[in-house]
Amino acid sequence: MQIVKLGTMRHRSRELLTIYIAFVFLAPGIPGQLPGSWELLVPNAGIASMHTAVTYQGTVILLDRTDVGVSKIELANGVCRDNPEDKILTHDCTAHSVLYDPATNTIRPLTIFTDTWCSSGAFVTNGTMMQTGGDLDGIRKIRYFVPCPTDGTCDWVEATDQALQADRWYSTNQLLPDGRVIVVGGRNEFTVEFVPAAPGENKIWMPFLKETTNMEMDNLYPYVHLLPDGNLFIFANRDSILYDYKENAVLRKYPTIPGGPRNYPSAGSSVLLPLTADTGFSTAEVLICGGAQYGAFLNPPAQLPASDTCGRMTVTDTSPVWNMETMPFPRNMGDMILLPSRDVLIINGAQAGSQGFGLAWFPCFNPLLYQPKVIQGLRFMVLSPTTVARMYHSTANLLPDGRILLAGSNSHYFYTFDGDFPTELRLEAFSPEYLSPDLASLRPTIIGTPVFLFHNLDFTVTITSPSPLTDIVELNLISAPFTTHSYAQGQRLLQLSVLNPVPLGDNSYSITGSAPPNGNVAPAGYYMLFAVNQGVPSIAVWVQVRS
C-alpha cells in the first residue's frame, strides 16, 4: 500500500519534471547557445563539500561532516581518528576536509576531528578562517585555518582553550568592524554571541529567533548582512529586523516577505546587493530568492514545487517594502553569488522539495543571472546548464579569476555512490559570459596595486588593456564568504569610487580609487580587487583593507 502510494507520487512528479524541463530548456533557447560555459575541474575531490571558502592565498577550503563514514581520500602520514561515539566509523583514517589549489588543480587532505556538520565560519581580519560549531563533539568548537602559500602545510587547528558559549548547529557568522565575529542562532539556540567574547561577556538572548521558528525550524542559518550604518540586517523564515549589536537593540522590524519560508530547511538564499560609492555607500538593498513551500520538509512525498519568487528590499529606506519578482523557474537550495560585474549568479539547487536528506527532486541545472541594474521584468537571464545535480550540501564560490567553483552535493546521510542523486565528489567551474573569448579584447589585467587599502584613503591601480579604454574602469572589492547550505556567509561587494583612467602609454593606465570609507562598509580583512571594464573583469588581486 505504502509502496504503491509512493510510486504514484513519483510518477506524478515525473510529469512535473517534464513540464519543468520543457520550460527550462525551451523558453530561453537551446542548451549550448545559452551564455556561460562549464568545465570539470576534478573528478574526485575525495569529499563532498558541505562548506567551502576561498582563502587569500588562492586555495580553497572544502569541508564536510566528519561522521559520514569513509571518504575517498586518506589522511596524510598515517593519521587516523579514533572516536568511540562516531555513528558509523570509530576508527577513521580518511579526510573530511581538503584544500583545493585551483592553480595546480590538486587536492591535499586536511585534518579535522570534531564534527563540523552544519557549522558556520568567517574569515577574520588577518585572513584566518574562523570556523565554529557543528554537531556532537563539534557543537561548541572553534577552529582556525591559517592559509599558507600553495606548497605549504597549513592545516586546521581546533582550539582547546576557547569554546562557543552555546551549542551552535546551523548558525550564521559575520565579521564585524571591530574584528570580532558575531555568531547568530542555531538549532534551538535563540541567542547570539561574539567570538572572541570580551571578558565576562555572555551570549545574548534574541527573541526574534524564537519568534521565527516553527515546526520545520525555518529560522536556521539566518541571513545576516552587515549594513553600512553599522547595524545588522537579520532575516529568518519570512521576517527580518535591523539589529544594533552594540546595544542589543532591535531598531526596526521589516515587513514579512510574501511567499513561503526562505531559510533552512526551506532553502532560499540571500545577498546584500553591491554597495556603491555612487550613493556614498548609504543605500543597502537585500535580495532573497527561492525557497520551499511550508510543509515541503514535513511532507516529503508531496514533492512540493519550490518557490519561484525573489524579494528585493531597500533596507535603508524609511518605509521599505518587498518588491517581488518572478524567476523563470522555481528553485530551492540555489546559491547566490555576487559577480565582479555586479550581477548576481543564482546556481545549484532543485525545483521541488526542501533541504534535508533525500528531500529534494528535479535538479536546477541552469544557473540564472540576476541583473540588479536592469529594469524590472528583464533582470533574469537563463544560463548554460550543467549535467551535475548539486542539491543538498553543495556549494558555489567565486574564484579570483572570475569563475565559480561548484562543489559537493550529498542528499544522503552517509556517502552513497549509487541510486538517485549519488554523493557528488566532482568539482566543476562555471565561467560566466564575461570570460568568453569574444570579450577578451575588453579584459583588463592588473599589473600594480597596493597590498593594503586604508579606509577612506585613495590608492592607485595600474592596469593594461588589450584595446584602448573607452570608458571608466570599475574597481570592485569582493569578500570571500563561507558558503554553506545555499548561503554565502559574509559575502559583500563594494563598488569603489574611481577617477577616469590615466593613460600611461602602450595601453597601460593608472586608475585612482577610494578605499571603502570605514569598517561598517568593509570590515578590515582580505578582499578580491577586480578591475572591471564594461562588465568584463580582470583576474583579481587580493588586497587587505585596513583601518
Ligand X SMILES: *[C@@H]1O[C@H](CO)[C@@H](O)[C@H](O)[C@H]1NC(C)=O
- Give the interface with ligand X as residue ranges (CB under 6 A): 124, 126, 128, 130, 144, 146
Rounded to a whole number of angstroms, the minimum distance from the CB of residue 55 to ligand X is 12
Pairing of strands 37-42, 525-533: unpaired
What is the SS3 assignment for 484? Answer: strand
Rounded to a whole number of angstroms, the minimum distance from the CB of residue 127 to ligand X is 7
Beta carbon nearer to ligand X, 145 or 380: 145
Rounded to a whole number of angstroms, the minimum distance from the CB of residue 523 to ligand X is 13
Do residues 411 and 358 make contact, with C-beta atoms less than 8 angstroms apart?
yes
Residues 6 or more apart whose Cβ sits within 8 Å of residue 375: none
Residue nearest to ligand X (CB): 126
Q: What is the 3-state secondary structure (H, E, C) of 57-89?
A: CCCEEEECCCCCCCCCCECHHHCCEECCCCCCC
Rounded to a whole number of angstroms, the minimum distance from the CB of residue 524 to ligand X is 12
ω into 537 cis (within 30 of 0): no
| Cα gap 80→84, rounded to integer Å | 13
Beta carbon nearer to ligand X, 124 or 477: 124
Residue 483 parent element (H or E) = strand 482-484
Rounded to a whole number of angstroms, the minimum distance from the CB of residue 469 to ligand X is 39
Do residues 110 and 101 make contact, with C-beta atoms less than 8 angstroms apart?
no
Do residues 231 and 224 make contact, with C-beta atoms less than 8 angstroms apart?
no
Name which of 266, 313, 272 is nearest 290 in CA terms.
266
Rounded to a whole number of angstroms, the minimum distance from the CB of residue 143 to ligand X is 10
Rounded to a whole number of angstroms, the minimum distance from the CB of residue 368 to ligand X is 37
Beta carbon nearer to ligand X, 144 or 414: 144
Please state the φ and ψ torsions of residue 195, each to the nearest 5 degrees: -125, 125
Do residues 518 and 456 make contact, with C-beta atoms less than 8 angstroms apart?
yes
Beta carbon nearer to ligand X, 41 or 157: 157
Residue 10 parent element (H or E) = helix 2-26
Strand order through the sheet with 335-338 = 335-338, 344-347, 368-370, 380-382
Beta carbon nearer to ligand X, 163 or 439: 163
Beta carbon nearer to ligand X, 178 or 325: 178
| Cα gap 227→235, rounded to integer Å | 13
Do residues 529 and 477 make contact, with C-beta atoms less than 8 angstroms apart?
yes
Beta carbon nearer to ligand X, 138 or 147: 147
Rounded to a whole number of angstroms, the minimum distance from the CB of residue 216 to ligand X is 35
Beta carbon nearer to ligand X, 430 or 527: 527
Rounded to a whole number of angstroms, the minimum distance from the CB of residue 239 to ligand X is 32
Rounded to a whole number of angstroms, the minimum distance from the CB of residue 69 to ligand X is 31
Rounded to a whole number of angstroms, the minimum distance from the CB of residue 24 to ligand X is 44
Beta carbon nearer to ligand X, 161 or 438: 161
Pairing of strands 493-495, 275-276: parallel
Beta carbon nearer to ligand X, 365 or 526: 526
Q: What Å distances lie between residue 358 and 19, 61, 263, 393, 414, CA to CA?
A: 22, 26, 18, 11, 11
| Cα gap 32→383, rounded to integer Å | 9
Residues 6 or more apart whose Cβ sits within 8 Å of residue 515: 453, 454, 455, 456, 457, 458, 459, 496, 522, 545
| Cα gap 8→15, rounded to integer Å | 11
| Cα gap 458→456, rounded to integer Å | 7
Beta carbon nearer to ligand X, 123 or 329: 123
| Cα gap 470→53, rounded to integer Å | 35
Rounded to a whole number of angstroms, the minimum distance from the CB of residue 483 to ligand X is 20
Beta carbon nearer to ligand X, 128 or 316: 128
Instruction: Tally the residues of the chain.
Output: 547
